[in-house]
Amino acid sequence: MELVEVGEKTYYIKNPTNIGIYKISENEVYLIDSGNDKEAGRKIMKIMNERGWNVKGIICTHSNADHIGGNKMIQDRTNCDVLAHHVEKNFTENPILEPSFLYGGFPFKDLRHKFLLAKESKVEELESHLPEGLEFFPLKGHFFDMVGIKTSDDVYFLADSLFSETTITKYHLFFIYDVREFLNTLDYLETLKGSCFIASHCEATKDISDLIALNRNKVHEILDKIYEFCENEMTFEEILQAIFEVYQLTMDANQYVLIGSTIKSYLAYLYDEDKITYEFKENKMVWRKKND
C-alpha cells in the first residue's frame, strides 16, 4: 500500500480498492472505505501508526465486501465510527445480504467467502454523522445507495461509479445494479469540477471525461448485444452464456452471480425501455425483441 497526498488534508492509499483519508485534526482522520479484508485493515493501521494518526471513523461509499472488509478489524482496534447511507447501512450491518441478493436465495458455501461476505460492523447513518469538511453525494447505479465523498480540498472520491480502461478492456462487464441510474450518474459526473478524482479501482486523475465516455460506451455496447441476442427467444441462462462466449470469459460461481445479476439488470432496462418483452413457454421464461 502506498500513501499519496492529494490535498492539504486529503490523502489516499493505493490499493486494489483505493482507500481515502481525510484529516479532521493534526492526528485524527476519517477513512473512506477500508479495503477487502482484515489484512487490508492491518496494512491501513500500520500506515496510521507510522503517521501517528488515529482513526476517528470509516465512511463506507457502499457495502460491497471489497469496500468494507477492513471495517471490523479497524473498528475493533480503534472503536471508531462506521458510517454508511440508507440501504448501504443495512448491508454493512448485515453483510450476508450481499451474497443473498446476488444469488437470489441463501448463498451456497462457495459464495460465502470474503470476496462477497464481509464481517459485520456497527454502523451509524452517514447523513447525521458526516464530519465538517466533507460532503457526500449520491452515485446510484452500481449499488443501491452508493455515495461519493468530496473533501474541502476539492478532491472527489467516486467509489465504483467508474471502472478503469484496464478492467473494461480485460473483462468488458462490471457489476451494475441499476443501468438507468448508472448512466444518469455518468451524466452527473460530467458536471463535476475538482482538483482530483479518485474512483475506487482507477488511478487518480484530474480529468475523468475519457473514463466517463469509456464506461458509457461499454454499457451501450452490451445493451446492443443483448438486444441482438433477443432477435431469437432466449432464456436468461442462454443470454448469460452468449455474453460470456462473445467476450471469451470463463464462468465460475462468483462470475455467475455477479455478471448474472448484472445481465438481469440490463434485461430490466431493455424491458422498461419497451425494447424487449418476455413470455413463459414450457415453464421457461424467454426474452425476445418486442414486436413493433
Instruction: Tell me the three-class secondary structure of 99-135, residue by residue.
Output: HHHHHCCCCCHHHCCCCCCCCCCCCEEHHHCCCCCEE
pLDDT at 218 over 70: yes
Predicted pLDDT of residue 1: 82
CA dist., res. 208 & res. 190, Å (int) = 8
Q: 156 pairs with which residues across the strands?
A: 150, 197
- Phi, psi for 158 (deg, rounded to 5): -105, 10
Tens-place pLDDT, residues 236-289: 999 999 999 999 999 999 999 999 999 999 999 999 999 999 999 999 999 999
CA dist., res. 107 & res. 105, Å (int) = 6
The terminus-to-terminus CA distance of the chain in angstroms comes to: 55
Helices assigned H by DSSP within the chain? 38-51, 65-68, 71-78, 87-93, 97-103, 165-171, 179-189, 209-229, 236-246, 253-272
pLDDT at 127 over 70: yes
| Amino acid identity, position 274 | D
pLDDT at 223 over 80: yes
Residue 159 grid cell: 467509489
Domain 2-209: homologous superfamily in CATH: Ribonuclease Z/Hydroxyacylglutathione hydrolase-like (3.60.15.10)
Residue 53 grid cell: 494518526
pLDDT at 133 over 70: yes
CA dist., res. 290 & res. 72, Å (int) = 48
> Mean pLDDT, to the nearest integer, of 104-124?
97
- Phi, psi for 224 (deg, rounded to 5): -65, -40
Going from N- to C-terminal start, the domains of the chain cover 2-209, 220-289
Predicted pLDDT of residue 291: 80
pLDDT at 292 over 80: no
CATH: 3.40.50.1100, 1.10.10.10, 3.60.110.10, 3.10.580.10. Which one for 220-289? 1.10.10.10
Residue 286 grid cell: 424467454
> Mean pLDDT, to the nearest integer, of 81-105?
98
> Mean pLDDT, to the nearest integer, of 111-140?
97
> Mean pLDDT, to the nearest integer, of 152-170?
97
Cβ partners under 8 Å of residue 288, min gap 6: 230, 231, 232, 233, 234, 276, 277, 278, 279
Question: C-alpha angle with apex 97: 156 to 79, nearest 5 degrees?
Answer: 60
Tens-place pLDDT, residues 33-85: 999 999 999 999 999 999 999 999 999 999 999 999 999 999 999 999 999 99
CA dist., res. 171 & res. 81, Å (int) = 35
pTM: 0.96
| Amino acid identity, position 122 | K
Integer angstrom CA distances of residue 235 from 28, 132, 213, 270: 53, 51, 31, 15
> Mean pLDDT, to the nearest integer, of 128-140?
97
pLDDT at 183 over 70: yes
